[in-house]
Each structure stands twice: as C-alpha cells, then as structure tokens.
Structure 1
Amino acid sequence: MARTTRIVFLGAGSKAFGLSLLRDVLSSPALRGATLCLVDTDRAALERMAELAGHLNRHMDAGLVVESTTDREQALPGARFVVNATAIERNRLWKLDFEVPRKFGIRHTLGENGGPGALFFTLRTLPLVFDIARDIARLAPDALFINCSNPESRIVLALRKYTGLKVVGLCHGLSMSRGDIARILGLAPERVSVVGAGLNHAQWLLRIRDHETGDDLYPMLRAREPKLAPADLPLTRALFRAFGYWPTCSDSHLGEYFSFGWQAGESGYDFAADERSREDLDRQISAVIDGGPIPGGWLSPSGEGLADIMEAVVQDRPRLLQSAILYNEGAIPNLPSDLAVEVPAVADAGGVRPVAVGALPDPIAKLLAMPAHVHQLAVEAAVHASRDLALQALLVDPVVNSIDAAVGLLAELWDANRPYIRPCL
C-alpha cells in the first residue's frame, strides 16, 4: 500500500521541521516505496532540502521516491497526506506581534499562541491555510491534512468548522513536559507515562505513571517539586500548587494565555538564538550533503508523531497517539464543543479521532474557558477579515489590560498585516 502513498510537505524549506519530517518518513518501513513531494515557494531552500532528502533516502535505503516543486497544485493530486509547516514572514512579523503590544503597555511572554500577538498571527495565517484547503478539496479530497504550524489550535478549529477537510494538529509540547517530569523525578523519559488534556500549550497532566510498574508518580512529584531551584519553571509550578495538576508545556508558552503569564518572563522569543541555531543546522546540512558523517539522531524518528499517524492510516492498524489537536465535540465535555483541544487520539485508515478523557477538574476548565473563547473569536475575526471582531477578541483576551491599548495596537498591527488579511470564505 505504501507504494501508492503520496505525502506532500508544504513549507519543506523549513530546515528544522523539514529535517523532523524527513527523519519520520525515511525511518518508517511501512512507508517504503511512498512518494514524498517537497513544496516551498523559496526555490533555493526547497532545492537544498530536496538534496538532503535524496541523500538521506539513499543512505538509509528507505526506498522513497523524492520529488520537489514550487507549485502546490502540481504536487497535490493523489496525495494521501498533506503536511503543513508554512509561515508568513515568520520572524519579522512575530517580532512586531511582540513589540507593538508592549509599546501600548501589554505585559506578555511570547506573542505567538496567546495574547494580542496570536490574534494577528491568526489573521494573516488563515487566508493562506484556506487557500491550501480549497486546493486540497479540489485535487486531493481524501487527503489527511496534518498541521504542524502555529497557531495550531486556531488553524485546526477554523478548518474543522468551515471546511470538509480531515485535519489533525501535532505538537511536541506534551513530550517536552514529559521530559521535565522525568528530569525532576530522576527517571528515564521512557519510564514516564502521561495523559494530558486541555488546549494546545496548556494541557494538564491528568495522570502521571511509571510505565514499567504502573505506579502513580504524582505523590513523588509533589514531594520533589518544592526542592527545585526557584528559577526552574516557576509559573508551571505555581499553577501546579494552585490547581493540583501539572500544566504543559513551558512557562513562556503556558503564560501566553493568562493575565499573570508575564510573570514567566517578558523578554519574548530569543530570535538571535533562533538564528544561530538555524545557521548551525545549515552548516550541518551542508556537511552531510557534501558527504560528511550524518548525525546519529538524524537516522531515527523525531518523536513528532508524523510517522505514527501515517503508518496507522496506511496499514489500517489502530494506534493510540499520546497527543493530537482535534475538534472537541465532547472529548472534554466541560469545554466548548466547537473548539480545538489537545487530547490523546486514535489513528487508523479512517483518520484521527479524539479519545474522550472526561471532564477536566472544574477549576481548570474555568481557567481555560476564557482562552477558549478568545480562540473562537480570533478565528471568526480572521475568517471574516473583520476589524470589529478583532477588537472584540482583544477585549475578551485576559492579557489585554486596557481599551486604549487594544485600540492602539489593533490599528498598528492591522496595518502591518494588511497585505495578508482577507476573508477566507
């Protein structure tokens, strides 16, 4: 079956995520013989990743057919999976998303998935995503759309609510928190089993167990947590002590949703470090393409979960996914049904479906209710390109601390994003 499988990767010029996808697809025996088509509008970046893909494909004897094109309409016909990692002027506009609200007195952490910055991320991203969705509906109507771009929850919510697309979002946030728990408890990560539920970047670990013994690890975590250094995940730990469950997936991401989140730090994303890491990865890629040794980690799955979904669909063998972003529809009954939530899921030939985890503890559901409503309003503002709805989304957001700030930052960031804002329907 894999020989008839076509995987289309949009945004393949992304070095970091491009490498993750290559690792997952190339290391999966179940996908041997599949066609992997890389797509990006940046021809130079695309050619580079295609060269790397061909090199790794030969080295690993993965048996894939690797193609590349700058034209997604050429790539899509016959696709079984469409993986999205696209972004619009990612760093330039993200900097504005962070800096402009600060100029108006907004205290926030990242400006990516929560707070006013996330509204504009949504406004400029959804029109592109809906263009892609229309192409998929026309050229590959049975494809599964796997979203790996932020703002994850809002993209999944919008597509599921307004299109017939089969869609799932993937994020490694739960794995990050699982690693934090393992570090705190002094255990190997594979010994820690977790079940999380909530919003993307704000899941709560409902269960933490020892994978080998089945023992509940929460008592040990409660005993170890007070002994950690004060600077070690202070916001996460404060919420853990207040609500009794460990939240994901980092202080800066978690803090984006709450009025007090700035206490996790107000320095924003480290763009300089991001650039250095990209330059370092670029040098590694060049060395590998030139025949140098391949880093060991590049020859094994990335842990993103892409291969798990594709294998389950291609082989029609149900597989439990640790975490996926999906339309709620009762998976968490005390959050809105028309919301994208992050919960365990099951994948098979029929697609990916959420596992009903039951109600969240009531105080946690109430804490997440306002960010949930912000997600819904931001999607409506973007889908309809409505400035009025955008202002309402800002005024509902607990991160926004004044009407004047909302009006001022809306004017400036709307203008900055104007080339990309348009109705999606």
Structure 2
Amino acid sequence: MKIAFVGAGSVVFTQGLLADLFAFPELAHARIALHDIDPERLATAEGAARHIAEVRGAKPVITAHLDRRAALADADFVVNIVQVGMNEATRTDFAVPARYGLRQTIGDTLGVGGIFRALRTFPVLKGIAEDMADLCPDAHLLNYTNPMAMNVLYLSRIAPALRVTGLCHSVYWTVHDLARLLDVPFEEVSYLAAGINHQSWLLRFERAGQNLYPLLDEAIARDPGLPRRVRVDMYRRLGHYPTETSEHSAEYVPWYLPHAGEIERLRLPVGAYLDIIEENTANYERTRAALAKGTPLPVEGTLEYAPQIIHSALTGTPREVYGNVPNRGLIDNLPPDSVVEVPCLADALGVHPTRVGSLPPQCAALNRTYASVTDLVVRAATDCDPRHIRHAAMTDPATAAALPVEGIWDLCDELVRAHGELLQPELRAVLGH
C-alpha cells in the first residue's frame, strides 16, 4: 500500500493523518511518499513522519520528494492538502476586500476569498490529475484542500475518470459537539446530514430512535449565549442545524457580515482566519524546532476520514464516512452536476455515496445559490472566461449584499492583479466596469 501526500509541508495536518494511519497495525508497513515544493517544510514533514512512526511502533517506508511525479508513481491513495500561495496569498484575500468594505471571517469556501483560493488551486489540481492519469490511474484521490466543493467539481469536469472524494470533518465534529452539549454519549447518537460542504444540514439527530432536537431547543432556551451564535440563529430560523462553525456559516449568506449590528450581536470575529494562519505557522515552527533539538513531539490522532478509508480499502472493514462527490442523483433538489456532501460507505471496493433524496426546501434554496457560485468559478477556469469570475462574485450572497456591482468588478480586477502568476493565463485579464 503506497500513500502519497501532496502538500505534505502542511506539517501539523500531515502529522495528525500519519498518527491515525500508523495506529492501524495493518498500515504499519505502508509506503509513505511525502511531496512538497518547499524543501524546508518537506524535510520537517519527513522528520515528523519518522518520529510518529517510531512512537506508534510502525515501520513504514518513508520517502520525501520535491518532484511530485516521483511521489505519485504507483500510489494507491493520494491525499491532497496543498495550499497554493500559502499565507501571503491568504493575507491578500483579506486585505484587498477589506479596503472595499467587504468583511470576511475565514475566506476559504465562498466569497471572494473562496473564489480566488479556488482559482489559485485549479492549475495545481490539473497537474495532479494529469500526473495521476499517467502514473497511478487507479489510485483514489482524497482531497482536503478548500474550497472543497469548487475543487472537487473542477476535478470532476476536467478528469471525469479520476476517483476523487473530498473529505471534511465538519459533520463529525458538529454532531460530536452537540452530543457533548446535550450530555449524550456520542456513541449512542444516530445522525444523517447532507447538503454542500460547509453548508450541510443535520437532517436527523437521534438517540435510541428519539429525536434529540427538542433537547437542543431546551439547551438553547437555558443558555442566553447560545442564540448569539450564527449557526444557532440559522437553526432557529431554518429548522435544521448547519454543519459548520458560525465563523464559516456567516460567510455563505447575506444576513450577517454586511451589518455591523449583527456582527456585534453574534460576536463574529472578522478576519479570524488571519489569526489561524499565524497559529499554524507557530505550530510549524515549534515542530521544526523540536525535531532539530531531538525533543519528543506529541503524537495525537485526528479521527479524520482518510486513514479510515485507506484502512477499509486494505482490510474490507466497512465504515460510514461523509464525502464530497458529484451529485448524480444523490440529492434530488440540488443541481445534478453540483458536488454534494452525503454519507458514504467505505469498504474494500472504495467509497460509495448514499442517496439522500430531497433536502428541506429552505435548505436546498441556500445550497442552490452556493452551487451556482461554485459552478461559475469552475466555468471561469474550464471555459477560460474571466467574466465568470465576476459573475461568481456577483452571485455570491455576502459579496452582493455588501458591494455595488461596479465595486465587485473593481475588487475582482484588483485581486486578479494581486494574484497574477498563480492564476491560469486566460484568467489574468483586467476587465474594468
């Protein structure tokens, strides 16, 4: 079993995934190929991987590659965790819109931050897909890179034969945290969620066949702080709990971030992701320093889906995971060519999505707007049409609520200039009004 990590210089995330992998005795001798374009980060990832293997008592074959093709050759699984442009590009995604009066919290899924993160990532995804078709055509690509829906949709359109599943922990941790809030053992909870990544909906939430939503209602009524969270506010109005944090959820609708009063009422941390990237950088530096000194590193699992899927493929152990896949009849009232998040069965034959049927109409309505933005961003790249970048931003709910149309086009022009060489050549045009 060979597992390739693309973007392994995301050391903290790589560490967590490897800790999970090496916890399975059947994967203790796996071949791990690490790839990154940053030599220092790649060396740090390799050192961390060897330390984790030692602590776990595993004896994998670990190799590190600046050449992506060398890492991908004969891989069975490819785990994608790239972040194109790294922190500098992310700061640009926040700083430029802020000058236009556009507020963002995370900026990695929708909005102009999500749009341009996708456009920077697509050329790299195209290269990965082409390399996999040549070097490991039967491998399964497990994508963690955001914006999830845009990236998986792009891959499904340019490389329809590629076996790709997008993975995100938001459904799991939403239910885990709600169970803790209600003082219900997570292991006793049954749940069903579906929608689009970062905007899925908890459709069923039960214990021993009894609906747990009434208990959640009681908890919200008891705690005056809970209604001051975006996702609780959305739940109370829409009837189903969203499966991403309030910081994320606020960016996908027009109701909160454009309004100073709502930011105060719901305690929204504008620019929160800028603090997260600084924390990630500090964690990386601590890891690098610890490895240089030979001091022990904490080895903690993440409960992520990728190691579980890989183990299921190797052993045949069936598991339910949540995956992001092309719709293809899985959710009736979302576009058939969109990417949806649904429960999936992982087993020896791969990842098999589950048909959900129809979402509640109010939830599907929001998802369809999300899907429209995603479709336009992908069309910008596949049709080589820079106008669709602007069309996507015009369609995006939070952007359209905050800026007039001329401001949206000016903002897109400035971000195109700022990201420059990271975009495919056909999309570097400045269009004006």
Rate the CA distance shift 1:304–1:289 in 2: closer, same or farther, 3 A: farther
- Please point out which of 407, 410, 416 is paired with 2:418: 416
Q: Which residue number corresponds to residue 313 of structure 2? A: 313
TM-aligned CA distance change 1:407 to 1:166, over 3 Å: same
Matches within 5 A, 1:9-408: 9-163=5-159, 164-210=161-207, 213-230=208-225, 234-262=229-257, 263=262, 265=268, 267-280=270-283, 282-284=285-287, 286-287=289-290, 290-295=293-298, 298-299=299-300, 301-321=301-321, 323-401=322-400, 402-408=404-410
Instruction: Report the residue type matching 2:84 in the other structure.
Output: I
Identity %: 34
The 3-state SS of whatever aligns with 1:206 is strand
Q: Secondary structure at 2:74's aligned position in 1?
A: coil
CA distance in 2, matches of 1:367, 1:251: 16
Question: Given the superposition, is the C-alpha separation of residues 286 and 105 from structure 1 closer, same or farther in structure 2, using an over 3 Å criterion?
Answer: closer
Secondary structure of the structure 2 residue equivalent to 1:46 = helix
Secondary structure of the equivalent of 1:256? Answer: helix
Q: For 2:380 and 2:221, locate their aligned partners in 1 and report how far apart those are by CA, in whole Å.
A: 43
Q: Does 1:7 align with 2:3?
A: yes
Q: 1:280 to 1:7 in 2, by over 3 A?
A: closer
Write out per-residue CA displacement over residues 30-57 of structure 1, whole angstroms, 9 at most, x where no aligned residue.
2232100111111111111111211221
Which consecutive residues of structure 2, in runs of 5 or more, have no partner in the other structure? 427-433
Q: Which moved more, 1:309-318 or 1:272-281?
A: 272-281
Give the whole-Å Cα distance in 2 for the aligned partners of 1:106 and 1:278: 26
Structure 1 CA distance, aligned partners of 2:36 and 2:228? Answer: 37
Q: Residues 220 and 227 of structure 2 are in contact (CA less than 8 Å); yes or no, is this contact kept in structure 1? A: no
- Which residue of 1 is the match for residue 429 of structure 2? none
Displacement of 1:78:
0.8
* Residue number in structure 1 paired with 2:430: none
In structure 2, the residue corresponding to 1:400 is in which secondary structure? Answer: helix
CA apart distance, 1:365: 0.7
Distance 2:330 2:406 in 1: 38
Query: Which is worse superposed, 284-293 or 115-124?
Result: 284-293
How many residues are treated as equivalent by the alignment? Answer: 414
Distance in 1 between residues matched to 2:138 and 2:283, nearest whole Å: 38
Instruction: Extract unaligned runs of 5+ from structure 1.
Output: none
Structure 1 residue 284 displacement after superposition: 4.9
CA contact (8 A) 2:85 2:422 kept: no
- Asked if the contact 1:257/1:371 (under 8 Å) is kept, the reply is yes
- Secondary structure in 2 matching 1:106: coil
Q: The residue matched to 2:191 in structure 1 has which SS?
A: strand
Amino acid paired to 2:210: D
TM-score relative to the length of structure 1: 0.92
State the distance in 2 between where 1:293 and 1:123 align: 39
Kept after mapping to 2: 8 A contact 1:385/1:421: no
Q: Which whole-Å CA distance do the structure 2 matches of 1:82 and 1:144 have between them? A: 6
Counterparts in 2 of 1:121 and 1:277: CA distance versus 1, 3 Å: closer
**Cα pair 1:320 1:347 within 8 Å, conserved:** yes
Aligned partners of 1:24 and 1:306 also within 8 Å: no
1:192 positional shift = 3.4
Report the TM-score when normalising by structure 2.
0.90
- In structure 2, C-alpha distance between the alignment counterparts of 1:27 and 1:173, rounded to whole Å: 22
